[in-house]
């Protein structure tokens, strides 16, 4: 069984037992959280779509770790104008272990 969930403004296809990295969630490591924004549930050929959410469907996940992604380097240049700008960014994430999918 799999589900399509929405968290942090993005959508993820998850199945039980998977680990995913999502936008940072304010939760402690080891804490179990419930993701209730489920957009679709699927099992084999059966697919249940929500309008926009599937009513009563939840996904339980455990927080495994917090961290930062690799650095994204930004470089801006205006030729012949003596302008160059260097910048970098490391996005924070929360790693989740997907548990039970109920729906």
Residue ranges per structural domain of the chain? 2-102
pLDDT digits (tens, 9 = 90+) for 7-55: 999 999 999 999 999 999 999 999 999 999 999 999 988 999 999 999 9
The predicted-structure confidence for 56-75, as pLDDT tens digits, reads as follows: 999 999 999 999 999 999 99
Query: Do 86 and 74 meet the contact criterion of CB atoms below 8 Å apart?
Result: yes
pTM: 0.85
Instruction: Report whether 88 contacts 70 (CB < 8 A).
Output: no
């Amino acid at each position: 069984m799999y589900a399509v969930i929405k968290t942090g403004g993005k959508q993820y296809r998850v199945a039980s037992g998977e680990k995913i990295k999502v936008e940072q969630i304010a939760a402690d490591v080891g804490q179990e959280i419930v993701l209730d924004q489920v957009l679709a549930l699927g099992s084999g050929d059966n697919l249940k779509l929500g309008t926009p959410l599937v009513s009563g469907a939840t996904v339980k996940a455990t927080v495994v770790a917090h961290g930062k992604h690799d650095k994204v380097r930004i470089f801006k240049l205006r030729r012949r104008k003596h302008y160059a700008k260097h910048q970098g960014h490391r996005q924070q994430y929360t790693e989740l272990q997907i548990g039970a999918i109920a729906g």
